[in-house]
């Protein structure tokens, strides 16, 4: 024979809960903001790892002094391995090294002048990068919305299929209550 009405109701509630969780997970996965946040977190973790290897953590400062020579010798290899195929990572590491050098040595007059000239040339690039970022976000918005629509349609079809199965199983042709409401006993 088949399942009892109570068993079917429990299965429907469980399926609704799973569909809701699945839709939330898919929405989170295709969200442009979450994509950027995940990429930023990976980059941040990589930089933290490099920094910890080079500078050490507070608890390992004593141990790091003994291994400093090895670490310095490994840095070029490590940088090459971490940046291979990843220009963003290479740029970030180069920026970090440059920043450390800038902090360690005060700028000369020539460097100040060069910096001013560079800033004048960088401003148009900054504006172009901002515009490109906006365009990229705009291009991602439509596929994300399409994916969300497809998920919603699939979930609706699944719910309709479950509804039809319950109707067929009960033989009474009763309508199910709307999602989110409790089932009568």
Q: Is residue 181 part of a domain?
A: no
Q: Could you list the residue range(s) of the whole structural domain that residue 30 is in? A: 5-170
Structural domain tally of the chain?
Answer: 1
Q: Is the pLDDT of residue 175 over 80?
A: no
Q: Is residue 13 part of a domain?
A: yes
pLDDT of residue 131: 85
Q: Is residue 147 part of a domain?
A: yes
Q: Is residue 55 part of a domain?
A: yes
Q: Is residue 178 part of a domain?
A: no
Cα 11 from Cα 162, distance rounded (Å): 9
Could you give the maximum distance between any two Cα atoms of the chain, in Å? Answer: 90
Contacts for 68 with CB less than 8 Å, ≥ 6 apart: none
Q: Is residue 63 part of a domain?
A: yes
Q: How wide is the angle at C-alpha 82 spanned by C-alphas 140 and 56, nearest 5°?
A: 115
Chain centroid to CA 41: how far? 7
Tell me the per-residue pLDDT of 103-139, one tens digit each, with 9 for 90 and over.
777 778 887 888 888 888 878 888 887 888 888 878 8
Q: Supply the mean pLDDT for the chain.
A: 75
Q: Is 33 exposed, middle or buried (0-12, 13-18, 19+ CB in 10 A)?
A: exposed
Q: Is residue 182 part of a domain?
A: no
């Amino acid at each position: 024979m088949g399942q009892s009405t109570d068993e079917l109701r429990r299965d429907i509630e469980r399926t609704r809960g799973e569909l809701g969780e699945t839709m939330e997970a898919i929405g989170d996965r295709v969200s442009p903001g979450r994509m950027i946040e995940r990429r930023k977190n990976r980059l941040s973790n990589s930089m933290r790892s490099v920094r910890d290897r080079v500078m050490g953590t507070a608890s390992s400062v004593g141990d790091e002094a003994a291994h400093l020579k090895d670490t310095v010798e490994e840095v070029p290899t490590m940088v090459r391995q971490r940046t291979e195929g990843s220009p963003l990572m290479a740029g970030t590491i180069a920026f970090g090294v440059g920043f450390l050098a800038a902090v360690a040595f005060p700028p000369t007059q020539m460097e100040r002048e060069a910096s001013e000239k560079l800033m004048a040339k960088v401003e148009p690039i900054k504006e172009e990068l901002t515009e490109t970022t906006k365009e990229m976000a705009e291009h991602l918005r439509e596929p994300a919305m399409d994916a969300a629509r497809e998920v919603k349609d699939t979930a609706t079809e699944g719910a309709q299929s479950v509804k039809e199965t319950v109707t067929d199983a009960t033989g009474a042709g009763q309508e199910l209550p709307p999602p989110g409401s409790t089932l009568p006993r």
